[in-house]
Amino acid sequence: MSDARLSDAPLPRPGALIPPWPGQMVPVTGGEVFVRHTPWCGPLPSADDGSTPSAEAPHERALYVHGLGGASTNWTDLAALLAVRFDGYALDLPGFGESAPPPRYSIHRHVQAVVDVLEWVVAQPGPGQGAPVHLVGNSLGGLVSVWVAARRPDLVATLTLISAAMPVYRVPAAFDRAIALVLLPGVPALAERRLAGATPEQRVRGLLQMCFGDPKRVPRERVEEAVAEMRRRDEQPWAGQALTRSLRGLMTSYLRVGRANAWRMARSVKVPSLVVWGDRDKLVDPALAPRLAAVLPDARLQVQEGIGHLAMLEAPEPTARAVLALAEDAAATPAEV
């Protein structure tokens, strides 16, 4: 394990807030999921000497996997920064965002959906076709990404885990009691009704307090986008089920032992990895960050001061620089055969 290096590549300077990237439905096992695309823009001229990037500039691909209750829109800002190197793709996991629900919620089904989308991304024509993809996951998406990287290393170039929901055996205090009890028969339906009783504005405010180190950092326009997205989700008959039943699948996965345990899976990951965590994360204990980085065979660690559970939203530039450095170093190191 080592400290994360930060790339000094020129990045787009923030201006007007970027709207969510467009996307399309992509077939996966048992249905289809919505995948947004952030097109590669190429390296920017150097601020030091104004030099123009080489025509052979890196043009790779990345896939972003959101967390529990999130969606592909969680990656809007980070994907825009990383477009200097990557064609970016962000999926809505089954039952979230624009994706229809699976027949049954489980970590395995989310893993299979990500594998299916990775295969689709790899097969897309153009630069980077056929090459492994840089996989970036947050929270539940981080746990899913560990499984994917361990099982399908042929599809993954590097692995970035942002506050990954690795197995723990104590429910964080930030979880509402109705959510913490989802393992009990009949309780998911109660939790769904309780969630439905709160307005979109109340739920967004609650999420901001729970997920951000400093909710004041969130631009007003992003809050309004989140409320509008919450209203759209309320129109989906499966929205409450997606949250509570995916959480149930997550907690059930924590009970797995042997080769199916996520910590055991992490030890078998072969690709270069980056672990990113906010030291104010209320949902997944920041103490897990060095533990996870130590378990991954080839990992570096970035702990961000004052940041919560969603570093890609709260601190997109330092997160992007760590991801870019990982990709730069991986490209400079010949892959093992």
Task: Give me the DSSP letters along 91-153.
Answer: EPPTTSTTPPPPSS--HHHHHHHHHHHHHHHHHSSSTTTTS-EEEEEETHHHHHHHHHHHH-G
Give residue-wise pLDDT tens across range 53-66.
Answer: 555 789 999 999 99
Residue of 139, 20, 11, 15 whose CA lies nearest to 83:
11
Average pLDDT, the chain: 85
How far apart are the C-alpha atoms of 13 and 283, rounded to whole Å?
A: 30
User: What are the residue boundaries of the structural domains of the chain, listed by start?
Assistant: 2-41+58-167+198-332
Q: Is the per-residue pLDDT at 89 higher than 70?
A: yes
**Beta-strand relationship, 60-65 and 299-304:** unpaired
Give percent of the chain above pLDDT 70: 80
Give me the residue label for tokens 């205090």.
Answer: 173
**C-alpha pair distances (Å), 44 with each of 18, 50, 83, 94:** 18, 9, 10, 35
Q: How many CA atoms lie within 13 A of 108 on its CB side?
A: 7
How far apart are the C-alpha atoms of 24 and 35, rounded to whole Å?
A: 5
Residue of higher predicted confidence among 102 and 155:
155
Residue of higher predicted confidence among 254 and 310:
310
Q: At what angle do helices 140-151 and 107-123 cross, to 10 degrees?
A: 60
> Phi/psi of residue 144, each to 5°?
-60, -40
Cβ neighbours of 15 (radius 10 Å) = 6
Give the strands of the sheet with 60-65, arranged side by side.
2-3, 299-304, 273-278, 156-162, 133-138, 60-65, 86-91, 31-38, 23-28
Q: Is the per-residue pLDDT at 257 higher than 60?
A: no
How far apart are the C-alpha atoms of 156 and 135, rounded to whole Å?
A: 6
Give residue-wise pLDDT tens across range 116-129.
Answer: 999 999 999 999 99
Q: Are 21 and 37 in contact (CB under 8 A)?
A: yes
Choose the CATH number for 2-41+58-167+198-332 among 3.10.290.10, 1.10.1060.10, 2.40.30.10, 3.40.50.1820. 3.40.50.1820
Provide the pLDDT for residue 176: 46
Residue of higher predicted confidence among 68 and 303:
303
Provide the pLDDT for residue 244: 61
Residue of 181, 216, 221, 176 whose CA lies nearest to 197:
176
Which helix or strand (DSSP H or E) is residue 89 part of? strand 86-91
**C-alpha pair distances (Å), 128 with each of 23, 105, 121:** 19, 32, 9
Average pLDDT for 2-12: 94
Q: Is the per-residue pLDDT at 242 higher than 70?
A: no
Average pLDDT for 300-318: 96
Average pLDDT for 100-119: 91
Q: Are 134 and 157 in contact (CB under 8 A)?
A: yes
Provide the pLDDT for residue 270: 94
> Phi/psi of residue 212, each to 5°?
-110, 140
Average pLDDT for 87-113: 91
Give me the residue label for tokens 């990656």.
Answer: 75
Residue of higher predicted confidence among 128 and 228:
128
Model pTM score: 0.86
276: left (phi over 0), alpha (psi -120 to 50) or beta: beta
